[in-house]
């Protein structure tokens, strides 16, 4: 069974020996954010996590691919450019998802209008 991003964040917190509250405060995210996480965190939250914990492997955190820690990863010397490129790709994915949601909502409204009309 695939782990969610939330489950990987919780695994990383456990690996670091931190409480969720300490992790959240270290990252600069709101208290209870992890418990309330229903889907993937936003790009700004991922940036805060990586900023606070540069040893976490972003690729693993987002996709589950690779090792949890950069030092254990075959990609361990990735440059900041690579990380920024990955973040850019995530932002584009978010934009595409937003457009898809808008299209689906419009389609739903059109169908409701057709039934009511």
**Residue 79 pLDDT:** 56
Structural domains counted in the chain: 1
**Residue 92 pLDDT:** 77
Whole-prediction pTM value?
A: 0.62
Chain center to CA of 24: 14
Q: What share of the chain is helix, strand, coil (3-state, %, to 5)?
A: 70, 0, 30
**Residue 65 pLDDT:** 87
**Residue 2 pLDDT:** 60
What domain range is 67 assigned to?
A: 5-116
Give the residue among 57, 55, 45, 43 at the shortest CA–CA distance from 95: 43
Mean pLDDT in runs of 10 for the chain (117 residues)? Answer: 83 94 95 89 90 91 87 56 72 79 86 83
**Residue 86 pLDDT:** 73
CATH of the domain at 31: 1.10.260
């Amino acid at each position: 069974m695939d782990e969610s991003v939330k489950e990987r964040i919780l695994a990383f917190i456990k690996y670091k020996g931190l409480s969720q509250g300490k992790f959240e405060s270290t990252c600069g995210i709101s208290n209870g954010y992890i418990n309330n996480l229903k889907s993937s965190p936003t790009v700004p939250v991922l940036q805060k996590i990586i900023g606070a914990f540069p040893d976490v492997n972003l690729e693993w955190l987002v996709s589950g691919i690779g090792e949890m820690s950069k030092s254990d990863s075959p990609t361990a010397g990735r440059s900041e450019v690579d990380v920024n490129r990955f973040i850019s790709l995530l932002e584009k994915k978010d934009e595409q998802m937003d457009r898809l949601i808008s299209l689906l909502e419009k389609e739903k409204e059109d169908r409701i209008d057709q039934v009511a009309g």
